[in-house]
């Protein structure tokens, strides 16, 4: 079965610093999805990546999928307190988008 | 614009009690999902419904039943709650493909 490993598990950065979160799959990814979760709330969909080498950006968040389609990174530029939360990656390794497998998440804290 | 609404927000049950978690979406989405979130385990799919009248098992369906009552509503029932079902439960929906809209969760404790 497919597994997703996220690193780091937690991260504390000072406001204004850049950071990267990684998501590594045990199998080739058909689709990779990034979500953000604030404490006590549901997940918010951020971005979807499907093609090897694909890169997408939304405001100060950039997500990339490597050429081999087994690893994705989420990069935040000039972090702000509003970026704090848990970031989760999800994947449909066999193309079944109804059955995403999720990573265990990366907890991000941004210190003012 | 409510999106995905889950009720209740909190619930405490004793072992063996039953309850139904309610979920409703107002976006006319075809697909609806139930997940549970546990520390160190991420989100795990319990059941999903690709369209009204259809349901299918996810990764951890044992101990749960679901009903897709209509296009708006997808309920999750625990017939005989166990401490292992203590978790945060999330409902989600999408037009098709992966879950895109999540509710704020139901925090369930089984003692």
Residues of chain B in contact with residue A100, where contact means CB-CB under 8 angstroms, are 45, 98-99
Does B42 contact A33 at a Cβ distance shorter than 8 Å? no
Q: How confident is the model at residue A39 (pLDDT cuts 50, 70, 90)?
A: confident
CB pairs under 8 A between A and B: 56
Exposure of B24 in the CB half-sphere (CA atoms within 13 A) = 8
Q: How confident is the model at residue B110 (pLDDT cuts 50, 70, 90)?
A: very high
Q: How confident is the model at residue B1 (pLDDT cuts 50, 70, 90)?
A: low
* Burial class of residue A95 (count of CB atoms within 10 Å of its CB; 0-12, 13-18, 19+): exposed
The CA distance from B21 to B78, in Å, is: 8
Average pLDDT over residues A27-42: 90
Across chain A, mean pLDDT equals: 92
The answer to whether residue A82 scores a pLDDT higher than 90 is yes
Provide the shortest C-alpha distance from residue A95 to chain B (in Å).
10
Q: Is residue A65 a contact partner of residue A49, using CB atoms and an 8 Å limit?
A: yes
pLDDT tens column, B49-108: 999 989 999 999 999 999 998 999 999 999 999 999 999 999 999 998 788 999 999 999
Residue A93's pLDDT is 61
Does A98 contact B31 at a Cβ distance shorter than 8 Å? yes
């Amino acid at each position: 079965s497919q597994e997703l490993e996220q690193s780091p598990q937690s991260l504390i950065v000072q406001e204004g610093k850049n950071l990267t979160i990684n998501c590594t799959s045990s199998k080739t990814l058909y689709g990779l999805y990034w979500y953000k979760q604030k404490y006590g709330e549901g997940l918010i969909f951020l971005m979807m990546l499907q093609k090897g080498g694909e890169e997408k950006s939304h405001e100060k968040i950039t997500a990339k999928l490597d050429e081999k389609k087994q690893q994705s990174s989420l990069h935040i530029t000039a972090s702000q307190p509003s970026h704090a939360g848990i970031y989760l990656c999800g994947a449909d390794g066999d193309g079944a988008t109804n059955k995403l497998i999720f990573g265990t998440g990366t907890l991000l804290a941004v210190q003012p | 614009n409510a999106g995905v609404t889950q009720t209740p927000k909190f619930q405490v049950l004793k072992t063996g009690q039953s309850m139904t978690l309610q979920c409703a979406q107002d976006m006319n989405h075809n697909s609806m999902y139930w997940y549970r979130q546990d520390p160190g385990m991420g989100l795990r799919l319990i059941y999903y419904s690709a369209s009204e009248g259809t349901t299918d098992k996810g990764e951890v369906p044992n101990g749960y039943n679901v009903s897709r009552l209509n296009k708006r509503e997808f309920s999750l029932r625990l017939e005989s709650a166990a401490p292992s079902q203590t978790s945060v439960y999330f409902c989600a929906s999408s037009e098709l493909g992966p879950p895109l809209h999540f509710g704020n969760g139901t925090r369930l404790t089984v003692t």
